[in-house]
Structure formats: structure tokens, C-alpha cells
Amino acid sequence: MNSQILTNIVLGVAILGLLIYRQLVARRVSASSLRLTLILGVIGVVEAVDYLSKHHGGTLTIAALAGSLVLAVVFGLLRAATVRVWIKDGAAWTQGNWLTALLWVVAVAAHLGYDALFDHHKATSGVGSATIVLYLAISLAVQRGLVLLRARRLDPAAAGTPFFGGPGSSGGGPGSDSFAGGSGPFGGSGPVSGPGR
């Protein structure tokens, strides 16, 4: 394993830890979540382009990359269904759970496992580690998009403005007395209660 592959894996694991931490904390839907996705996307694209420029982007390489990104979309869809969404103080809030975290870990394991299938081909060696940030960014974008749609179904005004620039914060979780309603782990809507209530 060369130093570049090791660096990419360490970076991916660090980002994974950050994503899991952020999603286990109750957070207001805000522009900060969009910024993080964009930042990861830019870093991911730069790393992927650098890899393709060195490996000449052959058909097998492109196919391996496309397959990996399909996995990213699938896991984004699955995780979105585990995120709780509710309206509090006129704003949309979200919070993942242990299943959300587990699916993140499985998603990265699947990505690296998929990479191992192609690693014995010289043309595709290292594609998984080189695209791990892009993989995380796309998976996060899919998850965020679906969660935002669920929030807008609950209250379009509450979900719209904060996401595109309103102030965001953390805290004020589902146990708050002003917790009005929300969407359950698999998308059903209606009144729900916070932990321990």
C-alpha cells in the first residue's frame, strides 16, 4: 500500500467519523449541511480527476468508478429512511440513529470491498481509495436531498429558508416540549415523541 492510498483511506475514515457524529446529533436543517456536501464534492472530484489522469480513464476504470457511485446512491437512499425529521420553533430538524451510523460504516466497507474486486487489475488498482471522498459526498448528497424533501412535506416554509441560508445550530432535540410533529424513521408522518417521553 503506497502513501497516497493510505492518505486517502485515512482522510476517508476521518470524514466518515465527522459525518456520523454530525448525524447522531439533533441539527437544524441549514446551509451548513449544504456547504459540507459541496466541500466534500469538490475534494472528491479533484482526487478522482487526479487518479483518472494517471490511469488514463480506460473503460474498465470508468466502469469501476460508475459501479462505486451506484453503491453510494443506494446507501444514501437507505440511510435517508432512518433519519428522523420534525418541526420545532418553525424550523426543520433532523437526527439519525444507530442504524444511520451502521449504514455509513457498511457503505464505506462496501466501497472498499468493491475496490478489492478490481484491485488486481493494474488499470483500476487504487480506484476505491482515490474516490472515497467523492463516494461519501455523493452518498451524503442523496441522503440530504431525500431528508430535505421529507422536511418540506411536513412544512415547506420551515424546511426551505434555513436550508438556503438561514442560521443553523445543533441541540434542541426531539425531547423538547415544543416538538410538534415529524416523520418517523421510514418516512411516515404524524406526531412523534422524543426519546424518553
Domain spans, the chain: 10-160
Taking Cα atoms as reference points, which of 100, 168, 186 lies closest to residue 140?
A: 100
pLDDT tens, position by position, 115-135: 777 666 555 566 777 888 999
Angle at Cα 147 formed by Cα 141 and Cα 150, nearest 5°?
145
pLDDT tens, position by position, 156-187: 776 554 444 344 444 444 444 333 334 444 44
Q: Model pTM?
A: 0.75
C-alpha cell at 185: 424513521
Amino acid at 139: S
Residue found by looking up cell 446512491 in the block: 73
